[in-house]
Amino acid sequence: MVMAADSQFHVLAVDDSLIDRKLIERLLKTSSYQVTTVDSGSKALEFLGLIEEHQRTNFKSPSSSSSSSSNIHHQEVEVNLIITDYCMPGMTGFDLLKKVKESTSLRNIPVVIMSSENLPSRISSRCLEEGAEEFFLKPVRLCDVNKLKPHIMKTKLKDQNQEEEEETTETEFESVEKQQQQQIQMNSSNKRKAGMDEEGVGEDRRRRIRYNSNGVATVN
């Protein structure tokens, strides 16, 4: 089985701080990831397709820093991992994590939380319990970014196994359905044959009936 190269993995980075956003973008690109950066949790949801199209706003895409959300539709760009700041105005990183994990279509995407809070253990425990894969203290370092790939690979394998199971289930269902149709056709054919046999017996009996001189029917 051949897995995609790192350059084919796409990371959505979410941070309201321009400096931190630039830092994480540089580290990810150094590690050959494709990167999309947004400055809020709500814009992350827009990119992920959880907000209606007419509500979309501009954000930075992998292809160009000036690209807008209208240039890349969320269904055309697969997100392999989300890395988000914990404390942001409006929708926090923790709120974004919960939204992603509540979505049936997005919940398998690994989410990593970053924070410069003074009580990292309390925050990390809360985020990990909610489904985050990792918790990084800011400033994020290259050694932290190196921890991302295993989470992406694990999700890729999980998705592939799920697809294979679905294909197997579909094939088994089609096989059972085909057998049922064949059984129905066989039963129908047997019924027609039985009906024809009964008609043949009736006709044979009628042919064997004879009448004697007194007009009484007899069977030969």
Rounded CA separation 112/169 (Å) = 33
Is there a contact between 96 and 113 (Cβ–Cβ < 8 Å)? no
pLDDT band at 175 (very low <50, low <70, confident <90, very high): confident
CB 152 within 8 A of CB 123: no
Question: Is the whole model's pTM more than 0.75, yes or no?
Answer: no
Provide, rounded to the nearest whole percent, the portion of the chain with pLDDT above 70. Answer: 68
Tell me which residue of 16, 41, 12 sits closest to 25, measured CA to CA.
12
Q: What is the DSSP code (8-state) at residue 105?
A: T
**50 has a pLDDT exceeding 50:** yes
Domains of the chain, first to last? 10-50+76-166 (3.40.50.2300)
pLDDT (0 to 100) of residue 51? 74
114 versus 164: the higher-pLDDT residue is 114
pLDDT at residue 4 tops 60: no
d(CA 115, CA 86): 5
Q: How confident is the model at residue 188 (pLDDT cuts 50, 70, 90)?
A: confident
What DSSP string runs through 167-202?
Answer: HHHHHHHHHHHHHHHHHHHHHHHHHHHHHHHHHHHH
| pLDDT classification of 159: cutoffs 50, 70, 90 | low
